[in-house]
């Protein structure tokens, strides 16, 4: 994330986690009250739904620009950065920062 957004993202994440825990507690209580014998099955089953949604979302994520740069795939890293940054100049600057921050150890060659 861009440095100017990191604090906001952490706050929103903490808020969403708290709200999610509250809602799941309420839903579990409803299942326990109205279905005391079989409600636990629905509680466990519903817990899998967010994980499945997250997994499907992960399938559309691009590779990490840092990982691509470590594999010396700089053109691909720049393309990914251009899709998530506001300007091409910001993407170029960030790729330069990534390259500077990488260790100077020989990189492992990846064959496709």
**Contacts for 91-95 with beta carbons within 8 Å, 24 or more apart?**
94/65, 95/65, 95/69
pLDDT of residue 111: 56
d(CA 79, CA 77): 5
Round to the nearest angstrom and report the end-to-end CA distance of the chain: 29
pLDDT of residue 103: 81
Give 10-residue mean pLDDT values along the chain (112 residues): 84 96 92 90 89 94 92 93 91 92 65 53
pLDDT of residue 4: 80
pLDDT single digits (tens) 58-85: 999 988 999 999 999 999 999 999 998 8
């Amino acid at each position: 994330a861009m440095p100017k957004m990191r604090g906001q993202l952490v706050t929103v994440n903490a808020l969403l986690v708290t709200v999610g825990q509250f809602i799941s507690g309420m839903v579990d209580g409803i299942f326990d009250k109205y279905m005391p014998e079989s409600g636990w099955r629905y509680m466990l089953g519903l817990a899998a739904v967010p994980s499945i949604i997250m997994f499907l979302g992960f399938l559309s994520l691009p590779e990490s620009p840092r990982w691509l740069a470590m594999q010396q795939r700089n053109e691909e890293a720049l393309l990914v950065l251009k899709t998530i940054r506001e300007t091409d100049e910001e993407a170029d600057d960030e790729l330069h920062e990534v390259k500077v921050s990488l260790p100077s150890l020989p990189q492992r060659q990846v064959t496709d």
